[in-house]
Amino acid sequence: MSHLHAIAARSGAGLLLGAVALAATPAHRVPGDPAAVSAKLSEWKVELSERTIAAGTVTFTVANVGSIPHAFEVEGQGIEQETGVIQPGASATLTLTLGPGTYEVYCPVGADSHKKLGMETDLKVVAAKGSGASGYGASEMSGSNMAQMSGSPARGDNVQAIRVTGGGPVIQILPGAFPFPDSAAPILKQFGDEREGLESQVKNGPYSNNVTTIAGTFTFTAWDKGAVRDSVDGVAEFTSQDGARWKLVLDRVQTKDVPHHPRFGGVILGLYYHGNTTVHTPLVPTIKSAVALWAFGHLYKNGALVTDNAMVHVMLLSRTRRDGDFALACWDCSKNKIEELQLQILPGPGEPKFDAPGGFLFVNWQKSSSAKPAS
């Protein structure tokens, strides 16, 4: 469940981000006049016209060129100021007086979920010079910024990993109506070209209360290694509602964008999203996830290979379904225990739908667990 445009680099957040554009020449201003920095916000990056400026007053002109709401925050050296939420196509200004030092610039929307997805960068403020020069070329960038530009993790090789074991009742979710259409409706309006497709899923989609109890196992290990080096190793086996035996082997993550909004890939640990967070589809309650990953899988049915390119989305997330009938029980489930393991399997690009209701497979392990794998 995620989303096909060009590969972009990212720094240790499990997804791929566009490189930050830099001004080609230094900016100059009359002493005493505010510096002017333009910023562009989109999924999932923050682009600044200047990455190094002189100390003093600066006015940021911030444009949301993405397709969902964003905001702009500057934090550091005792300062933490932000704009209000900026709708797609709109802009805002923020004027601050900044002393020398390094400042974090990011999007705070979704309790910093947008920031975790890569909407962050640094702004370097240096002591004012007599000439009032306020910008420098790429050669003046710090080592951490160069790491971001090259796609290497800014944190070095600090690899994060998680091992997940499915447990508890196993259910298959079949196509049906979304239980919270009134809650999702205002958020769907923000989704542009994808709105029509998402609205059709409100009436008959994969996030429904049309469920059946089945049996199966799922265990995997995922590594968040940064940029395009994320990896996964796991196997899921289950018997679907029609008695078919399915086996999924995961051995490689999806490092390009996959066709959903807004464009994820790889492994992401610790994310607050869905629902009303404006991160990904609102057709899922708001949740926190211990891990979310996008992968390609080898899919077998009754021992025969169906495809080597099944598109797979996995989340270990806040419990969204209640015991007994396994109906979706909350629109905001972010405070619930993280124990629900979701596995979604879709046909690869250009491949026929699976021989299953709706042409997809959606299986939950309701009481699952995670641990740090042995090194």
This prediction has a pTM of 0.69
CA 99 – CA 113 distance, rounded (Å): 28
Classify the C-alpha dihedral 318-4-261-150 as positive or negative: positive
The tokens describing 265, both together, are 């890939």
CATH top-level class for 35-150? mainly beta
Query: For residue 125, what are the β-bridge partners?
Result: 53, 101
Sole residue written with tokens 């505010």 = 34
Per-residue model confidence (pLDDT) at position 312: 95
pLDDT digits over 128-166, tens only? 765 433 332 322 333 333 222 223 333 344 668 999 999
Sole residue written with tokens 């690899």 = 159
Sole residue written with tokens 């802009």 = 91
pLDDT digits over 280-306, tens only? 788 899 999 999 999 999 999 999 999
Confidence grade of residue 200 (pLDDT, cut at 50, 70, 90): confident
CB 207 within 8 A of CB 328: yes
CA 33 – CA 24 distance, rounded (Å): 22
* Number of alpha helices (DSSP H) and beta strands (DSSP E) in the chain: 4, 20
pLDDT digits over 41-77, tens only? 998 899 999 999 999 999 999 999 987 789 999 999 9
Query: For residue 354, what are the β-bridge partners?
Result: none
Domain boundaries, the chain: 35-150, 160-371
CB 271 within 8 A of CB 289: yes
89, 214, 217, 232, 365 from 164: Cα distances, Å: 40, 20, 11, 11, 11
Burial class (CB within 10 angstroms; exposed 0-12, middle 13-18, buried 19+) of 246: buried
In whole angstroms, how large is the CA radius of gyration of the chain? 22
